[in-house]
Every structure is written in structure tokens, then in C-alpha cells.
Amino acid sequence: MKDFKAKVVLIVGASSGIGRVLALRLAAQGAQVVVTARRKDRLDALAAEIAERGGACDVFAADAQDPVAAEDVIRECLRQHGRIDLLVLNAGGAPAIDMRSMQAQEVTAYMRSNYDVAVNYLFPVLHQMRRQGGGLVAQTNSLAGFLGVPLQGPYSAAKGALRLLIDTCRVEFGIFGIRFVSLYPGFIATEATASDGMPAPREMSEDKAVDHIMDALRSERMDTMFPRSTAWLVRLSSVLPKAVVARILRNDVPPAPTPPPAIGVANHV
């Protein structure tokens, strides 16, 4: 994937942030970009900007949590272009969320919005890539997928699950010429993170993050972690005793919020 010219690229989660900047970069290099997200007005604005710069972009608004809607996007993309050379899974995210005040359904909701949104596109595209003889899948994961980050428990869990899923896909789908690139950014300064309530040490700009992503796509490096300083700390946490890591991370935990209401206990005779 050293040359993106005429490649069909489907980007899931392209209405803002990293996905939007990546769409602009790939279109500028001659890719036929297909973008999807929930906010059609944002996607239309992106397509117009790409067209003004001489690029090509198709827009399909859909909710990535809906597997039927995801399949419809893929079907329409294939109807127009016949193949998908590169799939970029970039949907998801979460504000600061303290599990000590959450109910089970809230936890699973964040899992759906960060795990299901990838799976719903991943498997239909994998089967298409198998039919067409190969392709490249890139998934924007997170350094939070390697350890339990305070105020990001369900998000970290979803990203950890995706990390293992993609690693297993490498084994099972690699024989069909399908390659996988996992991207592990730290804190990125995007519109969504500006007011998410999370502390953001060593925060990186969207453009700088996309520089790393473009390099990873060209080289098809399996795992790319950035920025380097934060990635080093995450790697260090994998070799330290868990008790030590927990004690360090606990320094970033705010005072405990009010617990959720108690579950009523029925009286049985």
C-alpha cells in the first residue's frame, strides 16, 4: 500500500477528528475515498472539501452500531466501485466515565459504541476481501487497550477486545492475502476530546497523528504506537507488577462519586 492512487478506501468514522484528516490525505494522494458516519452534514462538507481539492469522495451516512446499516454501506460501496482495497475502522470514543457510578447497561453501551462499531464493518469486508484476493484493514485502537485506564474502563475493555480480535484475524485471514494494521494512539487533540473531561498528558495534534498513520499504512506495520513517550510508559506497565501499576494509576482517580441506587430485594416467604 505504498501508493494509494486509485485505491478504494472505506473510512468508518470520518465526520471529524482523525478520520476526517485521514480522508483528506488519502484523497489528495489519488485514493477513491468512501466515508461513513452518522452525521451526513459533516460528511457532505468533507466530500465538498475533497472535491474542491480535486479528489474523489463518496458519502454514506449510517449508524455503525447497526449491522444492517453497515452492510448496506458496504453493498453500495461495492456496487459503485467493485472492491475495497483498504478499510479504516475509526469509529468510537468515550468521555470520562467513572465506573463506580455506572450501571451494567451503561457499561455495555460503551462497549457497543467502541467494539460493535468495528465488528459490524470488519467481517462483511473481510469476506469481500477474501473473494477479491486480499486487502488491507487498519484499525484505530488506543494505548488504553493495553491497560485499565482510570475513567475509561469500558473504553479500555472494548479496545483490548478489538486488539485481540484483530490479532486473531491476522492468523485466520492472513492466508487469503488480507493484511492488518493496528494503530495505538495516545491522547489526540480532536473536537470530541476537547470537552471529554479526561486529563490528556502528551497530547498530540490530529495532523501529527495522521502522519504516524500514513507511515503505518505505507509500511503495513502490524502495530504502531504513538506518541513514543506515552507508548514507552505503556510498555513499561506491561513488565511492572500489577500492584505497582495499580498504585500509580490510582493517583489519577478522583474521589468516589455517589453510588447508583441499591437494587431492591424481594421478600420471599
Q: How far apart are CA 40 and CA 18, in angstroms?
A: 17
Establish how many alpha carbons lie within 13 A of residue 255's alpha carbon, considering only the half-sphere containing its beta carbon.
1
Among 143, 115, 153, residue whose Cα is nearest residue 203: 143
Of 110, 115, 121, 155, the active-site residue reads 155
Q: How far apart are CA 99 and CA 259, in angstroms?
A: 9
33 forms beta bridges with 9, 57
Among 108, 115, 104, 224, residue whose Cα is nearest residue 161: 115
Cell triple for 69: 446499516
Amino acid at 84: I
Q: How many Cβ atoms sit within 10 Å of the Cβ of residue 39?
A: 13
Helix (H, G, I), strand (E, B) or coil at 88: strand
H helices then E strands: how many in the chain? 9, 9
Query: Nearest 5°: phi and psi at 182?
Result: -105, 130
Q: How many Cβ atoms sit within 10 Å of the Cβ of residue 166?
A: 22
DSSP tag of 4 = -
Tell me, yes or no, if 155 is annotated catalytic.
yes
Tell the residue number behind the cell numbers 503495513, with chain if given. Answer: 220
Q: How far apart are CA 87 and CA 124, in angstroms?
A: 11
Catalytic positions, written as ranges: 155
